[in-house]
Structure 1
């Protein structure tokens, strides 16, 4: 992978660009909190060749949402479950909207 390829991937929400320390700083959490999210299976960071955890922007958004819920008093396991369900709902709504658009474009035009 060239340097240009690496820079282009920084716009990819799923590209694991952030170290654990940087991810914790960006989300206002601790490294221990990020590890706990991994143990709860909310996020699974990729590992660098040296074995260090790397996080994507998408994972950072999930971690920030988890922090928000935990700060409101939600237990971490429950917060993770809520976030997973929110994510599944959002994906289902996106797919539903695609189906509606496809069905609308194939429907005959209304009578004049």
Structure 2
């Protein structure tokens, strides 16, 4: 992971315990007590030093607020866990809503494409029917022209025969 990716990652353990205590205006002992109680599990370096992620710092702020409001550590932990579950369910619901909305958009686009295809098909049928009618008209004209041509040939043959008899 590059340095820039680490800055964007809420779960990357980048803050030392001393920095976290200073940022959150709590005593390092408070952070240690959360770790000891199993409420928060900071990353440990090879030397055993605690490192906190931005997400963990947010959790500490929420726990501190609940403790300051008079909750015990156990109830604060339960409340914070329930809030996380509610947030996760809300996120899942939003994703499901987004997926449903996307499926509706896809369905609507497919329906519009089907309607366009149906209209194009109807237009193609109309064009074909017009072409057939035009072809039938031309065939009728051709039959009439052939009949007239045959009549003209017959007349020429008759006239030629008459001329031949006169000469």
TM-score range, shorter chain: 0.7 to 0.9
1:46 lines up with 2:43 in the alignment = yes
Match in the other structure for 1:71: 68
Q: In proportion to residue count, which structure has more helix?
A: 2
Aligned to 1:22: 19
For 2:39 and 2:93, locate their aligned partners in 1 and report how far apart those are by CA, in whole Å: 24
**Cα-Cα RMSD:** 1.7
Q: Structure 1 residues 6, 49: CA separation in 2 closer, same or farther (over 3 Å shift)?
A: farther
Question: What does 1:87-98 correspond to in 2, within 5 Å?
Answer: 87-98=84-95
Aligned residues: 107
How far 1:7 moved relative to its partner? 4.3
Structure 1: segments with no counterpart, 5+ residues: none
Alpha-carbon displacement from aligned partner over 1:74-97 (angstroms, at most 9, x marks no partner): 111211111111011101110111
TM-score normalised over the length of structure 1: 0.86
Of structures 1 and 2, the one scoring higher in RCO (CA 8 A, sep 6+) is 1
Aligned to 2:77: 80
* Larger radius of gyration between Structure 1 and Structure 2: 2
Unaligned ranges ≥5, structure 2: 112-167
Cα drift, residue 41 of structure 1: 2.7
Q: Which runs of 4+ in 1 moved over 6 A?
A: none
